[in-house]
Amino acid sequence: MSDSSPQGILVCDKPQGLSSHGVVSRIRRWFGTKKVGHAGTLDPMATGVLVLGLGRGTKLLTYITGVSKTYFATIRLGSSTPTDDADSEPDRFADPSDLARVDAATIEAAVAKLRGPIDQVPSAVSAIKVDGKRSYARVRAGEDVELKARRVEVSEFQIIDIRFSSADGHIDFDVEVDCSSGTYVRALARDIGTDLGIFGHLTALRRTRVGEFHIDQAVTLPEDLGVAAPTLISLAEAARTLLPVVTVDADRARALMQGKTVAVGEWDAGPGADDTGNREVAVVCDDALVSVAEVRRNGGLKSLTAFAIDLA
């Protein structure tokens, strides 16, 4: 029996002021389905690409969460906030004489230190769990939270524009950041301000890319959720952007969905294989995603995550 509920991936342009969970709630109402999840939280202040899975698309989210991302952001130097962004009021301010000695060259030097692999301490109000409880929840409950540094990679960190404002006593500069999953752009803003001795926080953040999902694919949430919902990215199309693809016939597809190991012949594990030579792939039959499977060194194919499909 076929499942008529929505199945696939949706790229949404998250509006400012709405949480990622709030977007999920609206998508549930818009598409008339309960099974919706997202791949990577955006703070309420942030806008841009939020990738959502509907129906069996939620099974692909774990493969999307860990991909690299691109952001455009505005960093303000001269003050800091408890949340390292504009979701809270500034509570520390730089001495005007310290701010006056900062120029474009010193800002560029501070940015350069944060390019490449770095050990970053996430913001205390992040969603990281500490003993089973979100860090931000502990902070809001009045607890002091100290998170450990984590290795992340900032592959690109480019300054687009710098604006010096003597009247307001701050410096704003716009940046574009390409980074690994788990990188906090507001922590980059905080650390630049700390390095320069003048404090810093994030005032704007827009995510424009999550892996191969880009802002030009994103749909805007309508005010009227009664309007027709858009076509989803199919499971097979989405999987092709995340994993190598192996195509099988209907007989092998059935066997995989039954938990059997099937032979696919010679397989060149190549980059991405683990130390046993095994590798995860997307298995497709007649342009439908059958499973995410492991191709073993001997060429055998074993399903790891099955996607129920109808086979004639």
Known catalytic membership, residue 43: yes
| CA-closest candidate to residue 94, choices 200, 7, 195 | 200
Q: Residue for token digits 């509920």?
A: 5
For residue 263, the Cα-to-chain-centroid distance in whole angstroms is: 35
Contact 80, 91 (CB under 8 A): yes
Q: How far apart are CA 253 and CA 290, in angstroms?
A: 6
Residue type, 9: I
Contact 305, 291 (CB under 8 A): yes
Q: CA gyration radius for the chain?
A: 23
Q: Residue-wise over 52-67: b if at least 16 C-beta within 10 A, else e? A: bbbbbbbbbbebbbeb
The structure tokens listed for 214 are 């880009």
Please identify which of the residues 3, 13, 43, 216 carries the catalytic annotation. Answer: 43
Burial of 80 (0-12, 13-18, 19+ CB in 10 A): buried
**Cβ-proximal residues to 38 (8 Å cutoff; 6+ apart), any chain:** 20, 23, 24, 50, 51, 52, 53, 61
Pairing of strands 245-247, 279-285: parallel
Q: How far apart are CA 209 and CA 181, in angstroms?
A: 12
> Is residue 48 helix, strand or coil?
strand
| CA-closest candidate to residue 19, choices 48, 42, 50, 49 | 42
Residues noted as catalytic: 43
